[in-house]
Amino acid sequence: MRTVVVVGASLAGLYAARELRAQGFDGRLVVIGAEPHAPYDRPPLSKGFLTGTADEEQLALADEEETAELAAEWLLGARAGALDARGRTIVLDDGRTVAGDGVVIATGAAARRLPGPPLAGVHTLRTLDDARALRAELARGPQRVVVIGGGFIGAETASSCVALGHDVTVVEAAPLPLTAQLGPEMASVCAGLHARGGAELLTGVGVAGLRGAAGRFVTGVELADGRLLPADVVVVGIGATPRTDWLAGSPLAVDDGVLCDDGCVTALPQVVAVGDVARAGGVRAEHWTSATEQPRTAVRNLLAGHTVETAHSLPYFWSDQYGSRIQFAGRRSDGDTVRIVEGSPDDLGGGPPTGPRGEGLLAVYERAGRTTAVLAIDRARPFMKVRRGLAADRAAELAAV
């Protein structure tokens, strides 16, 4: 293989570039990124970057020395618009073409937006530019902030806004946020963090629309039940969609992500997909750790010319809200029972404006006597132990088949 083109210059794309070099690829390496920025880390955008404890330098994913060592050609501020039928040539939006004999798709996901004309004061939070804009607006003094969506990004943003002294309401259409991820019992514990932290959480009610004259500042959020929430700033945190638009017309199958086998290899053996955009072995993960782990397997398979290894790591994510750190690992499914094995939901500490940490808690999910997943709030050490056990079980299970 002489030229490998990585499309997407963020977490998964950078890790793929690193793996290519680490695994001995010494050919031409081209990395295409739609954003003008060098690879940066997204998780701090809703946390320390918004509250001002982390600045832009701290977001950088690679330093100058490492970037030089990678010896890659960076085409930043350049969007891939198409992949040809053979899966070898990438056409950029500005008309340039880049040809390679290997392609890594790492285009991630884009924040979902509400329909309707754009209004000032309405934000999504996915990119550095999004975060800069929101941060600047929040710096203008105390405001009424409405966060639409109570998922992890919504909750983290709400928590950061409270820490900055804003008046925050979170609107969640489902009866309880995070139920799909955590199950009802633990979702309700996490929902309780909002009240403890000083944000209001409205659940079971959808958003009918935003109020404000086109092109002017938003003035409020209209709820499906007719209520009107006055708002100066609205953050839309209703999930993300995988960025596969540019693959239309290519031979690759796309269905909520780029379909690939469990080694991240697509229908074309010289094209692999990693990170938020990849639906590997039927599942799409939108987590930092998968975006950093998948590239190793994907690159191995890319260089081998076919799938020689599968990427079956244990799902893991974390979230920081209202001074608490939530960590989750494993594969929970509906019907799993959950058991709190350490600590208690009544002693999570914190509170406005994030008071002392409490005891936290550790909960395990079980099915047929086996642990399927683990959740911790401020209990990193025992969490790590259970997580490692789950990973070992998973490895043994895979070795047995």
Closer residue to other proteins in complex, CB, 58/97? 58
Binding flag, residue 318, ligand FAD (CB under 6 A) = yes
CB half-sphere exposure, 193, CA atoms < 13 A: 33
In Å, how far are 32, 128, 290, 316, 390 from 313, measured between CA atoms?
27, 28, 8, 9, 10
Report strand pairing: 200-203 vs 167-172.
parallel
Question: What does DSSP assign to residue 84?
Answer: -
Binding residue for ligand FAD (CB under 6 A) from 107, 179, 250, 327? 107
Binding residue for ligand FAD (CB under 6 A) from 4, 5, 11, 235? 11
Binding flag, residue 43, ligand FAD (CB under 6 A) = yes
Binding flag, residue 297, other proteins (CB under 8 A) = no
SS3 assignment, position 25: coil
Tell me the residue ranges of DSSP E strands in 160-262: 167-172, 200-203, 207-211, 220-223, 228-230, 233-236, 240-242, 258-260
Closer residue to ligand FAD in complex, CB, 126/279? 126
**Nearest distance, CB of residue 258 and other proteins, angstroms:** 25
Closer residue to ligand FAD in complex, CB, 286/336? 286
383 binds, among ligand FAD, other proteins, none (CB under 5 to 8 A by kind): other proteins
Cβ 17 vs Cβ 70: under 8 Å: yes
Rg (Cα) of the chain, in Å, rounded? Answer: 22
Q: How many chain residues are in contact with other proteins, going by CB under 8 A? A: 18
**Nearest distance, CB of residue 46 and ligand FAD, angstroms:** 4
Burial level of 394, CB count in 10 A (0-12/13-18/19+)?
middle
Binding flag, residue 191, ligand FAD (CB under 6 A) = no
Question: What does DSSP assign to residue 127?
Answer: S
Closer residue to other proteins in complex, CB, 124/319? 319
- Sheet with 73-76, side-by-side order of all strands: 73-76, 28-33, 3-7, 102-105, 271-273
Binding flag, residue 66, other proteins (CB under 8 A) = yes
* CA–CA dist 205, 202 (Å, integer): 7
Binding segment for ligand FAD among 113-121, 182-190, 214-222, 313-321 (CB under 6 A)? 313-321
**Nearest distance, CB of residue 336 and other proteins, angstroms:** 24
Binding residue for other proteins (CB under 8 A) from 82, 133, 267, 380? 380
Binding residue for ligand FAD (CB under 6 A) from 25, 74, 288, 328? 288
Task: Report the 10 Å Cβ neighbour count for 19.
Answer: 22
> Nearest to residue 31, comparing CAs of 41, 43, 39, 23?
39
Binding flag, residue 381, other proteins (CB under 8 A) = yes
Binding residue for ligand FAD (CB under 6 A) from 286, 293, 336, 378? 286
Binding segment for ligand FAD among 65-73, 179-187, 191-199, 285-293 (CB under 6 A)? 285-293
Which residues would be at the binding site for ligand FAD (CB under 6 A)? 7-13, 32-35, 42-43, 45-46, 79-80, 106-109, 125-126, 153, 243, 246, 275-277, 286-289, 291, 317-319
